[in-house]
Every structure is written in C-alpha cells, then in structure tokens.
A = this chain, B = another copy of it.
Amino acid sequence: MGSEAARFAVEPAELVMTEHTVRAVDAELAELGGKVRKLGELCVTQVTEAIEALGEHDVPRAERVVAGDDRVDALHREIEDKAVGIVARRQPLARDLREIIGALRISNDLERIGELAENVARRAMLPGDKPRIGVMSQLERMAELALAQLRQVMVSYEAQDVAAAIAVWSNDEEIDALENSLFRELLTYMMENPRNVGFCTHLLLCSKNIERIGDHATNIAESVYYIVEGHQLSGQRPKASLIDAAGLTA
C-alpha cells in the first residue's frame, strides 16, 4: 500500500490529466462502437427475416421487417449524432478520429443494408405463389453467403482484425457468380412462359438486392482496414464481370 501511494505521489499532474482525458474519449469511442455493432446485429436479423419471409411467402413476417427499418434508421442517426458530438467535444486525432470516421462510414453501409432487406421484405408481401423451389434455394444460398460476409466483417470490426477484413473484401466473388447464374436461369423461365415474367422479375430484383448487401459488406471491410491502417485499401477487388454474365442474355 505504502509503495503504491508513493508511486501515485510522484506521478506528474499532467500525466494524470492526460490519462483521464484519454479514458473519457475511450469510453465514448467504445459506446460509439457498441452502437455500430448493435446496428450490425439488427441488420443481420433484418436480412435473415426478409429472406425467410420471401421463401415462405410469410406476409406478417415481411411486415415486421418493413416496420423494423425504422429502428435501423433511428440507430443510424443516433450513431451520426454521437460521432459528430465526440468530434466536437473531444477533438480527437489520428486513430481516434479514424474510428469515428470509420463508424460513420460503416453505419452508412449498414443503413443501406437495412434498406435492401426492407426492399426484399416488400417483395415478399406481393400477391402470388411461393417461388419455385430451385430458384428460391439459389437465392437463399446467395443470402447465406451475404449474411456470412456481413457477420464476418462485423467480427473483424469488433476485433479490429485487418486480415479478417481483407478476407471478406476478397471473398465477394461467389455471391456474384451465383447472382449471374440465377440471372440466366430466371431469364430462361421468363422466355419459357410469359406467366413467369412477373415473379421472375421480382426475384431478379431480390437477387440484385442480396448482391448489393454483399457489396456493402466489402465496403465495411474497407472501412475496418482504414481504421486500423490509416490509409485506404487499394487495388482491384476480384469481381465476376457484368459483361461476361450478361453477354449470354442480351
């Protein structure tokens, strides 16, 4: 006890002040990060529920997803206000500042993911039969991949794990490939029978929405990289070409 008291006694006042200040910023950044992770979890739920509502043609569940988007928007705004508040009060620098800019960016991507889930849910509410099994299972596979990307990138954000973020960033190809194959399949159904045109178009737009959820997950990976490394992730992400896929169908 005596030696501890002595240690505190020799500590200069400025250092204690600095540590105090640092801890206050840290607490605010932790709160901000917590809100971003909460938004991430909410978006995972929204996407999961929207896809299940679509597959089961479950209108009440789709309605809950649509209503749930208000919570996504509210949390997104809360994060923006909190981030701006921290910058104004704490005048953070370097890594702290990047964490705030990163939180703003990630929250922006998550808000769009929420919007895409809402779009899918709205399509699940449309009158019509359950989509045919084969097509729906491909859409579900795409959604699983997109959700895995989203979950992994949020884990990389929590752990500030650059390697994990880069893995997500490089891993978007399979979703794109599935989207291309589903696109072609839906076009053949539309050509086969005019009665298929309506629901196939809706599924096609759903598959675009899911592909974009995957794109936003890779954007989030870029933000995690930026927070930790202090510069932008450059280079071309591997991506199945739109032209290659569309060449067959045009």
**Smallest CB gap from A109: residue in B:** B108
A25 CB to nearest B CB, Å: 13
- On chain B, the residues within 8 Å of A197 by CB distance are 187, 190-191, 197
Whether B97 and A87, one on each chain, are in contact in the complex, defined by CB atoms closer than 8 angstroms, is: yes
The dominant DSSP class at the A interface is: helix
- On chain B, the residues within 8 Å of A93 by CB distance are 88
Give this chain's copy count.
2
Q: Which of A96-113 contact B (CB under 8 A)?
A: 97-98, 101, 104-105, 108
A245 CB to nearest B CB, Å: 10
A208 CB to nearest B CB, Å: 7
> Is A37 close to B, CB under 8 A?
no
Chain B CB within 10 Å — which of A88, A105, A201, A243 has the most?
A201
Whether B205 and A187, one on each chain, are in contact in the complex, defined by CB atoms closer than 8 angstroms, is: no
